[in-house]
Amino acid sequence: MDSKIKLPQIIITVFMIALFVLAAFLDMDIPELVSGSFTKFVMNGVLVLAMIPMINAGVGMNFGLPVGIVAGLLGMCMAIQLRMTGISGFLGAVLLSVIPAVILGMVYAKILNMVKGKEDIAAIFIGYSFIPIMNFVWTVIPFTNREMLYPVGAEGLRPKISLEKYFGNVLNELLVLRIGKLSVPLGLLCAYAVVCLFVYLFFRTKSATVMLAVGENEKFCQLSCIRIDNVRTMAIVLSTVIGAVGICVYAQTYGFVELYNAPLSHSFPAVSAILIGGCIGKRAKIFHAVLGTYLYQTIYLLSAPIANAILIPQMSEIVRMIITNGIILYAFLKQERRKQQ
């Protein structure tokens, strides 16, 4: 499986460029839109990277991404409880996310190893059923920082916890390159590059070679005395850890930690992005994640203001959903067609 841009990606790229041209025709601030596209790309990019290990191990799309996201939310809540601030606070939140991510990832892997062949359906069920459990946990977990708690009664965590006093936008503001009106968040891009480098270096190891082999031909690996379940578990845990890191990057850019049902909104966009990037079957690469994330998030960013300028304001969100869901459907259809070829 190479990393060449194929016809579906060319078509979606042309559509994105057409949106930029239309935005310029409507006298929109193009430098601001480009700057926003960089930010949206990176803040969602790490979550898309969490798809790669599981796909390559033949476990399917990581529809259970909310499991890793919850681990990241736990890590950030612990960092806020400890009043960790700045870049050290962000790094502390990431480190505090790793242990719950490993534990939850192993539980996640145990379930998926019991339902081989139906991993995608099981992962969706796990993601959606795990959130109500965590909704109860958020209401009883014994945190004492009042900025995290409901103002009335001071019990239970708020649905949104501000990161302004802690580590909100620390990566975005770490290093910014300004070219006229264009702002490039180099600190944020460097953080994303570090995670990409980690994934790249991991897939150069012997363990990753075995993982890829299991994804390509599980029967042959089983006859070669490879412990399939252990390899799959490693991939699932790794995806869960990357997902936990991803939500930390997302939250510091967004400026809030979103609890309760919020993790459910990330799975399908992440899966869609890697499909749009050209991922097929059981082989996903960093290139697929990078390209797909930028295309998906940029089109999502541009569609609403353009629709708002052309149509009545109430229609903009409807048009945005039609466009983005249409791209998702197109990506799924192209994936199935190329699988059959």
Would you list the domain boundaries of the chain?
7-332
Q: What is the predicted pLDDT for the residue at 1? A: 45
Cite the beta strand spans of 163-252 per DSSP E.
176-179, 182-185
Q: Which fold has domain 7-332?
A: ABC transporter involved in vitamin B12 uptake, BtuC (1.10.3470)
Residues 65 and 254: beta-carbon distance below 8 Å = no
- The bridge status of strand 176-179 relative to strand 256-258 is unpaired
Integer Cα distance of 224 and 227 in angstroms: 9
Phi-psi region of 86 (alpha: psi -120 to 50; beta: other; left: phi over 0): left
- The bridge status of strand 256-258 relative to strand 160-162 is antiparallel
Integer Cα distance of 132 and 209 in angstroms: 37
DSSP alpha helices (H): ranges in 57-85? 65-81
> Does this model's pTM top 0.75?
yes
Burial (0-12, 13-18, 19+ Cβ within 10 Å), 235:
buried
Q: What is the predicted pLDDT for the residue at 100? A: 96
Residues 274 and 291: beta-carbon distance below 8 Å = no
Q: Which residues contact 231 (CB under 8 A, 6 or more apart)?
A: 57, 207, 210, 211, 214, 221
Q: Tokens for 143, please give them.
A: 């945190």
Integer Cα distance of 336 and 341 in angstroms: 9
pLDDT in 10s for each residue of the chain, 341 residues: 456 677 778 888 898 999 999 999 988 999 999 999 999 999 999 999 999 999 999 998 899 999 999 999 999 999 999 999 999 999 999 999 999 999 999 999 999 999 988 888 899 999 889 999 999 999 999 898 988 988 776 678 999 999 999 999 999 988 889 988 898 999 999 999 999 999 999 999 999 999 999 988 888 888 888 889 999 999 999 999 999 999 999 999 999 999 999 999 899 889 889 988 888 767 899 999 999 999 999 998 888 788 788 876 666 667 767 777 777 677 667 665 655 55
